[in-house]
Amino acid sequence: MNESKVAIYPGSFDPLTLGHEDIARRSLKFADRVIIAVAHHPTQSKDRLFGVEERVAMIEECFADEPRIHVAHFSGLLVDFCASRKANIVVRGLRAVSDFEYEFQMALMNRELWPDLEMVFMTPAGEYTFLSASLVREIASLGGDVSRFVSPPVLRRLKERLGT
Residues 6-43 pLDDT 10s: 999 999 999 999 999 999 999 999 999 999 999 997 65
Range of the domain at 43: 6-162
- pLDDT grade for 44, boundaries at 50, 70 and 90: low
The sheet carrying 69-74 orders its strands as 69-74, 33-39, 6-11, 89-93, 118-122
- What is the predicted pLDDT for the residue at 96? 80
| Residues 122-153: tens digit of each pLDDT | 999 999 999 999 999 999 999 999 999 999 99
Check which CATH number belongs to the domain holding 79 and give it.
3.40.50.620
- What is the predicted pLDDT for the residue at 2? 61
| Residues 74-96: tens digit of each pLDDT | 999 999 999 999 999 999 999 88
| Residues 95-126: tens digit of each pLDDT | 887 788 889 999 999 999 999 999 999 999 99
- What is the predicted pLDDT for the residue at 47? 75
Structural domain count of the chain: 1
Q: Which residue has the higher pLDDT, 47 or 17?
A: 17
Among residues 30, 37, 16, 28, the alpha carbon closest in space to that of 84 is found at 37
Residue 84: inside a domain: yes
CA–CA gap between residue 70 and residue 43 (Å, rounded): 22
Measured CA distances, 12 to 1, 3, 5, 22, 164 (Å): 35, 28, 23, 16, 23
Residue 114: inside a domain: yes
Residue 1: inside a domain: no
Residue 62: inside a domain: yes
